[in-house]
């Protein structure tokens, strides 16, 4: 910028406005006054000119700054020393500093100062701009939070967790100090999402994060990896300390959460690994904690397990089983066996229960207790359940076409299958595709499934009942049935769980429970079927109680379709005592 010289220099020096008018050509004057950028000219540490925007930015009037204060008066005491050394324009070229600026009300904001030397009134001066970086810093902080923190709960995310774990491992190596890593996963969280919706599920996750956050120490790191999985890193913790915290976390989560007008329980399963004995790398520690957590789920959930090397073998077998099961669904390796259901009034086979089996190409026939839990955990239970439903309907219709008497075809429905949104349509499709009369199909649902969200499930059951499908309550007496709901459920049959039949001839309590269920069914005009009948003594007691139906190895084990046909034709149990 040109120097300010001429015969009116003395007057210009006394009148800052006149000086500026001389410094800036008339064509730029209005623009400089109106521009929404803070502009200044400083000489001898004092402002010779500030535009209105700068004065407003700092909470002053133009008059309170011009000739009265300098830039250093608007900065914190810790302002950049390099700027302090060049405050009078010493040096050449454009200079930039980032400092903390201070307004008249003492509030502060991050600022960038860009200045250049200027000859003003024949002497060195500085011209520059002050830029408010508050919005930029806020955006940078927001970007940092998005990169390092979970958007839902505000907890550290996987990226920040891995960074802190790396630091923790380095510190543990230097100081030879162990630490614990806990993996916490909520039990049956998918059921809450399916029943109440993802909004309620998200609110529950936030409530869980807040509650377990109050149970940890300040030095601990609590992170959310995603879904309903949380990781906790405990520096310096022993196995006893990790045990104590795991117990406190479980106790905290066992208290109901008030979410969206519901009292929800989200019990946790916790897996624990210890550094360095369970692994020295981040990946190993996380993987082993995950293995221990799944072991806790296998042990009944709502508990904790420490990692052991033997768990890896079991986990490998489970992964192999999962992969093979996915192939089995694709390659039609599943098949149905059928167990007859007998009328105790005359011994006639009046129905069969369809039971899934897996014909593995190397391992042979695999029973459902080895793979159903894997199917439930991996989401394969829905395609498997849909196949079972369709195949059972097709087979029942095929038997009718062969001239066999019309039988009831009972099909077990998994909780996840029953809760899926299109279940009623799936049943309608299986019936339509096979041509089976809906009255010949019986769907068995456990009382635990129905009572989990009874009000929501009544609608599904009512729709199936109106369709003509019979509904039975499986494993009755093992859950937490409410008689009020039992009255409202459109079920036609109760099934006495085999646990009450096993010792029926020896245990008076089992006899009392079985008799009560039979009497309850009779009072509610429901048929009662006893499962797991294996002896003639059990059969005799059930007949004395007035039980309507029975099934079990005393009559027949589940048989493939080809073998059950002969049994249906012979009716070997007619009038059998």
CATH code, 161: 3.30.70.270
Residue 313 in any domain: the answer is no
Residue 576 in any domain: the answer is no
Q: Are residues 298 and 172 in the same domain?
A: yes
DSSP string, 339-372: EEEEETTT--EEEEEEEEEEEETTTEEE-GGGTH
The dihedral region occupied by 501, where left means phi > 0, alpha psi between -120 and 50, and beta the remainder, is alpha
pLDDT given for residue 536 in this prediction:
93
Q: Which range is least confidently modeled, 190-194, 319-323, 535-539? A: 319-323
Residue 565 in any domain: the answer is yes
Residue 2 in any domain: the answer is no
Q: Are residues 117 and 203 in the same domain?
A: no
- Which CATH number fits the domain that encloses residue 412? 3.20.20.450
Average pLDDT of span 24-35: 62
Among residues 387, 377, 316, 312, the alpha carbon closest in space to that of 357 is found at: 387
Residue 450 in any domain: the answer is yes
pLDDT given for residue 24 in this prediction:
56
Task: Find tokens 């998994």 and name the residue.
Answer: 414
pLDDT given for residue 88 in this prediction:
45
Q: Are residues 183 and 88 in the same domain?
A: no
DSSP string, 246-315: HHHHHHHHHSPEEETTEEE---EEEEEEEETTT-SSHHHHHHHHHHHHHHHHHTTSSSEEE--HHHHHHH
Residue 475 has pLDDT above 60, yes or no: yes
Residue 479 has pLDDT above 80, yes or no: no
Residue 447 in any domain: the answer is yes
Query: pTM of the entire structure?
Result: 0.54
Mean pLDDT over all residues of the chain?
Answer: 86
Q: Which range is least confidently modeled, 227-231, 234-238, 319-323? A: 319-323
Residue 537 in any domain: the answer is yes
Q: Are residues 274 and 346 in the same domain?
A: no
pLDDT given for residue 418 in this prediction:
87
Q: Are residues 130 and 155 in the same domain?
A: no
Q: Are residues 253 and 341 in the same domain?
A: no
CB within 8 A of 460, min separation 6: which ones?
A: 418, 423, 424
Average pLDDT of span 468-491: 76
Residue 285 has pLDDT above 90, yes or no: yes
Show the domain range for 219: 149-307
Domain limit, last residue, from 84, 110, 137: 137
Q: Which range is least confidently modeled, 318-322, 342-346, 421-425, 459-463? A: 318-322
Q: Which range is least confidently modeled, 64-73, 312-321, 381-390? A: 312-321
Residue 130 in any domain: the answer is yes
Domain limit, last residue, from 79, 103, 137: 137
Residue 441 has pLDDT above 90, yes or no: yes
Question: How far apart are the C-alpha atoms of 373 and 305, rounded to whole Å?
Answer: 19
Q: Are residues 336 and 485 in the same domain?
A: yes
Q: Are residues 288 and 370 in the same domain?
A: no
Q: Are residues 129 and 175 in the same domain?
A: no
pLDDT given for residue 143 in this prediction:
74
Among residues 310, 245, 247, the alpha carbon closest in space to that of 278 is found at: 310
- Which CATH number fits the domain that encloses residue 125? 3.30.450.20
Domain limit, last residue, from 279, 307, 335: 307
Q: How many structural domains comprise the chain?
A: 3
Q: Are residues 394 and 535 in the same domain?
A: yes
Residue 223 has pLDDT above 90, yes or no: yes
Q: What percent of the chain has pLDDT over 70?
A: 88
- What the block records as the tokens of 452 is 């989990």
Average pLDDT of span 274-281: 93
Q: Are residues 301 and 327 in the same domain?
A: no
pLDDT in tens, 502-552: 999 999 999 999 999 999 889 889 999 999 999 999 999 999 999 999 999
pLDDT in tens, 58-105: 999 999 999 999 998 998 865 544 455 444 444 457 888 888 999 999
Q: Are residues 425 and 503 in the same domain?
A: yes
pLDDT given for residue 27 in this prediction:
46
Radius of gyration of the chain (CA): 39
Q: Which range is least confidently modeled, 334-338, 427-431, 470-474? A: 470-474
As beta bridge partners, residue 305 has 271
């Amino acid at each position: 910028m040109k120097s300010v010289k001429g015969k009116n220099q003395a007057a210009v020096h006394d009148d800052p406005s006149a000086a500026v008018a001389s410094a800036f050509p008339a064509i730029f004057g209005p623009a400089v006054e109106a521009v929404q950028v803070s502009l200044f000219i400083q000489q001898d540490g004092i402002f010779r000119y500030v535009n209105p925007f700068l004065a407003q930015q700092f909470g002053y009037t133009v008059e309170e700054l011009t000739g009265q204060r300098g830039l250093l008066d608007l900065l914190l005491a810790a302002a950049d020393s390099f700027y302090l050394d060049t405050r009078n324009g010493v040096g050449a070229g454009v200079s930039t500093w980032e400092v903390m600026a201070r307004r008249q009300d003492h509030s502060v904001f991050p600022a960038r100062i860009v200045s250049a030397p200027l000859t003003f009134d024949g002497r060195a001066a500085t011209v520059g701009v002050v830029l408010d970086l508050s919005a930029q810093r806020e955006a940078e902080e927001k970007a940092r939070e998005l990169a390092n923190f979970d958007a839902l709960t505000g907890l550290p995310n996987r990226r920040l967790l891995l960074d802190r774990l790396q630091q923790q491992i380095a510190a543990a190596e230097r100081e030879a100090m162990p630490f614990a890593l806990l993996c916490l996963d909520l039990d049956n969280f998918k059921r809450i999402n399916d029943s109440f919706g993802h909004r309620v599920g998200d609110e529950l996750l936030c409530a869980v994060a807040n509650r377990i956050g109050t149970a940890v120490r300040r030095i601990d790191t609590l992170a959310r990896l995603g879904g309903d999985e949380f990781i906790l890193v405990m520096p310096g913790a022993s196995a006893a300390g990790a045990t104590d915290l795991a117990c406190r976390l479980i106790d905290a989560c066992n208290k109901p959460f008030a979410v969206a007008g519901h009292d929800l329980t989200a019990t946790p399963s916790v897996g624990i690994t210890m550094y360095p004995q369970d692994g020295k790398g981040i990946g190993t520690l996380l993987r082993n904690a995950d293995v221990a957590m799944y072991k806790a789920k296998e042990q009944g959930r709502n508990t904790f397990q420490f990692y052991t090397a033997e768990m890896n073998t079991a986990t490998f077998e489970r992964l192999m089983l999962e992969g093979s099961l996915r192939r089995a669904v694709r390659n039609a390796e599943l098949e149905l066996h059928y167990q007859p259901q007998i009328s105790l009034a005359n011994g006639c086979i009046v129905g069969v229960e369809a039971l899934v089996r897996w014909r593995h190409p190397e391992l042979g026939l695999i029973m459902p207790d080895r793979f159903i839990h894997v199917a439930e955990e991996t989401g394969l239970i829905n395609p498997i359940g849909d196949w079972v439903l369709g195949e059972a309907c097709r087979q029942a219709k095929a038997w009718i076409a062969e001239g066999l008497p019309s039988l009831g075809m009972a099909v077990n429905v998994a909780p996840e299958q029953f809760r899926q949104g299109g279940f009623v349509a799936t049943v309608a499709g299986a019936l339509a595709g096979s041509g089976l009369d809906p009255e010949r199909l019986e769907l068995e649902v456990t009382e635990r499934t129905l009572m989990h969200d009874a009000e929501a499930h009544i609608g599904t059951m009512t729709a199936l009942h109106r369709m003509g499908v019979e509904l039975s309550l499986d494993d009755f007496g093992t859950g937490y049935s409410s008689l009020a709901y039992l009255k409202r459920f459109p079920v036609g049959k109760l099934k006495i769980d085999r646990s009450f039949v096993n010792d029926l001839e020896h245990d008076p309590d089992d006899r009392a429970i079985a008799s009560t269920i039979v009497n309850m069914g009779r009072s509610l005009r429901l048929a009662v079927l006893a499962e797991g009948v294996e002896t003639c003594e059990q059969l005799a007691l059930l007949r004395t109680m007035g039980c309507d139906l029975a099934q079990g190895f005393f009559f027949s084990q589940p048989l493939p379709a080809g073998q059950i046909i002969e049994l249906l034709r012979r009716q070997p149990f007619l009038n059998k005592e």
